[in-house]
Amino acid sequence: MLSLKSGHLLFESHLVTELFGNEEQVNMVFYAERNTLLIAAQSKAFFSKLHKTNWTALKLRNPNGDKTIFLRDLLMDNDLDETDRTLNYQIKNTGIIEIQLEN
């Protein structure tokens, strides 16, 4: 499950393992016209070459291995809904996760 909680993107541990393995940093890009956030492990160099990305750290949330990314600034800057909720996402065969952030 992937959710938004208190301005943080919360990845359950199984998603962390599948998408990022043991990596602590990710690259991400937000496309406002589609309200879509793309995230990939920093080791996926092609991702940062195809998109104008910013890197951020994955923060350990709990002993279960769940991790978070701080998104409040992105949500506020783009007038997106900050309500705590479960988010829709797709995992591409390239290892990129595409997340819908409706406003």
pLDDT at position 17 over 90: yes
Is the pLDDT assigned to residue 103 strictly greater than 80?
no
What is the rounded average pLDDT of the residues 61-71? 95
Closest CA to 69 of 2, 1, 21: 2
pLDDT at 102 over 90: no
pTM score, two decimals? 0.93
pLDDT bracket for residue 25 (50, 70, 90): very high
Average pLDDT, the chain: 94
